[in-house]
Structure 1
Amino acid sequence: MTASSFARLGVSWIVVACAAVVILLLSVAWVRPALAACKRASSTGIGAVAFFYGANVQAERFEPFDTVVIEPDSGFDPRAHTAHCPNWYAYVSVGEVTKERAYYAQMPKTWFAGSNAAWSSTVVDQSASGWPAFFVDQIIKPLWERGYRGFFLDTLDSYQLVAKTDAERMQQQAGIGAVLRELKARYPQARLILNRGFEILPQVHDQVAAVAFESLFGRWDQANQRYDEVPGNDREWLLAQAREIHERYSLPVISIDYCPPEDEACRRQIVQKISTLGIVPYVADGGLQTIGMSHSIIKDAEPLTKVSLTR
C-alpha cells in the first residue's frame, strides 16, 4: 500500500490498523506459551497427574499437571478452561452409587445388589439388563456434553462385596466389560483411566489409557478416619499387578497415595519412592480435598524392574 493510499484512508484508519496489529501480536505472545506448555505430557498422554474432589476447582492452580481428575458435581466447566494445560477427566463411579447423584432416582431398585457402609453407597449389579445403556445415556453423555473427554472409572471392584461364587464374579466382570464397550462404542475418542479393575483388563485393556490403584506406601482408612502405612505384603501384591500391566499391556500405572495434608515431608518421600519404581505418583489427603503432589513434569515411566522392598 502506498503513502497516498494511507492518506485516502485517513489518520483514524491508520490508528485502527496499527492497533489491530498490536493486538494480534499480543495474542500470539499469550497463546504460544499456553500451547507449548500443553505439549508437556509424555507419549503416554498421562504425564503428571492430580486427583481433586473438592468443590472449588481453581484451574490455574493445576497448570503444573498434565492430567487432572475432578468431581464433576463441583460444577466445574472444562470448556471455560481450554487454555489451561491439564486434560480434565471426570470422576465416575461404575460399581457404586450414592443418593446424592442426580441419576440415582432413575435407577431401578432391582439394580441395587448391596451396600458399602464405609462410603454410605449402594453397590450396582453390573449384570443388570439395561445398565450399560443407562450408564452411557444418563452418566457419560451429560458429562461429554459439558466438555469432558476423559473419565476416571472408579469402584470397579465393588462387585466383590456381593458376588460370592466364581460364577457370580465372572458374571459381574462380564457386565463391567459390557459397560466399557458401550461407552467406547458411543464415544470412541473418550480416554479412560481405570481404578484397579485388574480382573477385567484382559477384555478391556485396549480401551483404556492408564490403570490406577491406591495406597502403595501410604493409605487412608476411611472406616477409622486415619492414615496408615501400607503393609509389605499388600505393597508387593500391588507391584506384581503393576508389573503385569506394564509387561502385558504397555499401559502407564498410577499410584494414588495418602498423607496428612500438613505433612509435606511425607508426600515428598512417597512421591520419590513411587517414581523410583517407574510408576506415576500422586500423594494427597485422604479425601482428595487439597491439591497434592506429583511431578510438575514427569518423564515416560520406564518398564518396571524387579525390586526388593523391605517388609
Structure 2
Amino acid sequence: MTASSLARLGVSWIVVACAAVAILLLSVAWVRPALAASKRVSSTGIGAVAFFYGANVQAERFQPFDTVVIEPDSGFDPRTHTAHCPNWYAYVSVGEVTKQRAYYARMPKTWFAGSNTAWSSTIVDQTAPGWPAFFVDEIVKPLWERGYRGFFLDTLDSYQLVAKTDVERVHQQAGIVAVLHALKARYPQAQLILNRGFDMLPRVHEQVAAVAFESLFGRWDQSNQRYDDVPENDREWLLGQARQIHERYRLPVISIDYCPPGNDTCRRDIVRKIAALGLVPYVTDGGLQTIGDGGTVLGDRAPLRKVKFRRRRSVTLTDTQ
C-alpha cells in the first residue's frame, strides 16, 4: 500500500514515516548478522585456513581466517576467543611423540617403535594394545575440556619409517584407523583435519572435515635447515592424491607450503598457484612460527576455482616435508 493511499485513509505522514523507519531498522538488524555469517562461510566448509605453532597466540591477528590450527601447549584458551575465529583446531600428533609432551612419561616404552631423528621425536607403534584409549583419554580429552572442537591430526604416515613389510604397514594403518574411530566414538561432534593419511581415507573419510598435505611448491628441509622448490614428480604425485580426494570423497584439500619468513612475494605467489588448482592454500615459514598467507589474500571468501586435476604419474613417494 502506497503512502498516498494511506493518507486517503486518514493515516498521517508521520505514522507512515515511522513505520518505514522501523521496517528499515528491522531489516538491517536481520541482514547484518546474515552478511557477517556469509563472510565466514566458504564452499569448502572450512574457509581460509591458518596454521600457527608459536607460543604467543594473538587471536585478533587471525580474524581474517575461518579456521586456525594452533599448538595447544601454547596455553591458548579457545573458550575466551570465540569472537575472532569460530574454528580453533588443536595440533595433535598421532604417529610421533616428543619428550616435551606432558603425556610422554605416561606412555609405556613398549609402545615406542623407533625414532625420527630429523624432528627429535619417537614413533608410536599404532598396534600397541591400549593406544587408542590412551590417545582419547590422555591427549584428546584434556583438549576437549579446554574448549577445542577441532583437531589437526599430524604424523599419520610416520609408521612408514619403521614398518618394512606390507603386512606391517597394513597393521599400522589399521591401528591408526582404530585411533580415529575411538576419537569419533567418544566425541562425535569433533571436526578432524588429516595431514596426509591417504591410505586410511577409504575407511575414515566420512569422519573427516578436510585433508591436508605439505609442500606442493615450496618445502622446508628440516634435516638441512633450508627452503627448497618441490620437484615436479613429487608435485604430480600429490596432485594425483588431491584429485582422488576431490572426486571420491568431496573433501576440501589443503596445501601447506613454506617460504622464508618475510618473503611476501614468495608466499603470495605460491598461494595463487595453489588456489588456481582448486586447493585451499596456506604458506608460512618452516617452523610455522609466523602468520603466513592463505586464501584471504585472494579476496573476500571467493570460492576456489574448480579445475580438472592431472592424472597421477607412476612415481615413488618421497618425503617432501
Residue aligned with 1:88, SS? strand
Residue aligned with 2:46, SS? coil
Q: Where does residue 308 of structure 2 map in the other structure?
A: 305
Query: After superposition, where does 1:234-273 map in structure 2 within 5 Å?
Result: 234-273=234-273
Query: After superposition, where does 1:1-311 map in structure 2 within 5 Å?
Result: 36=36, 40-296=40-296, 297-307=300-310
Separation of aligned partners in 1, 2:59 and 2:35: 16
Separation of aligned partners in 1, 2:34 and 2:94: 34
Residue aligned with 1:65, SS? coil
Residue aligned with 2:60, SS? helix
Corresponding letter in the other structure for 2:309: K
Q: CA deviation at 1:307?
A: 4.6
Q: CA deviation at 1:38?
A: 7.4
Deviation string, structure 1 residues 246-282 (Cα, Å, up to 9, x no partner): 0000000000000001110000100000000000000
Deviation string, structure 1 residues 274-302 (Cα, Å, up to 9, x no partner): 00000000000000000000122434445
Corresponding letter in the other structure for 1:58: Q
Deviation string, structure 1 residues 127-154 (Cα, Å, up to 9, x no partner): 1100000000000000000000000000
Q: Where does residue 13 of structure 2 map in the other structure?
A: none
Residue aligned with 1:60, SS? helix
Deviation string, structure 1 residues 38-79 (Cα, Å, up to 9, x no partner): 752214321100000000000000000000000000000000
Aligned length: 281
Q: CA deviation at 1:82?
A: 1.0
Gaps of 5+ in 2: 1-24, 312-321
Residue aligned with 1:73, SS? helix
Q: Is the 8 A contact 2:39 2:301 kept in 1?
A: no
Q: TM-score, normalised by structure 2?
A: 0.84
Corresponding letter in the other structure for 2:275: S
Distance 1:175 1:300, change over 3 A: farther
Segments ≥4 residues shifted beyond 4 Å: 32-35
Q: Is the 8 A contact 2:277 2:309 kept in 1?
A: no
Separation of aligned partners in 1, 2:214 and 2:238: 9
Q: CA deviation at 1:181?
A: 0.3
Q: CA deviation at 1:85?
A: 2.6
Corresponding letter in the other structure for 1:298: R
Distance 1:86 1:285, change over 3 A: farther
Deviation string, structure 1 residues 146-188 (Cα, Å, up to 9, x no partner): 0000000000000000000000000000000000000000000
Separation of aligned partners in 1, 2:309 and 2:197: 23
Separation of aligned partners in 2, 1:38 and 1:301: 16
Corresponding letter in the other structure for 1:190: A
Separation of aligned partners in 2, 1:84 and 1:307: 38
Instruction: Give identity over the alignment, percent.
Output: 80
Corresponding letter in the other structure for 1:290: T
Q: Is the 8 A contact 2:258 2:285 kept in 1?
A: yes
Q: CA deviation at 1:98?
A: 0.2
Q: CA deviation at 1:36?
A: 1.7
Give the alignment's Cα RMSD to 1 decimal.
Answer: 2.0
Separation of aligned partners in 1, 2:125 and 2:35: 43
Separation of aligned partners in 2, 1:35 and 1:108: 51
Corresponding letter in the other structure for 1:128: A
Q: Is the 8 A contact 2:275 2:305 kept in 1?
A: no
Gaps of 5+ in 1: 1-24
Q: Where does residue 14 of structure 2 map in the other structure?
A: none
Q: TM-score, normalised by structure 1?
A: 0.86
Q: Is the 8 A contact 1:62 1:86 kept in 2?
A: no
Separation of aligned partners in 2, 1:192 and 1:64: 21
Q: Is the 8 A contact 2:43 2:303 kept in 1?
A: yes
Q: Is the 8 A contact 1:34 1:83 kept in 2?
A: no
Q: Is the 8 A contact 1:38 1:84 kept in 2?
A: no
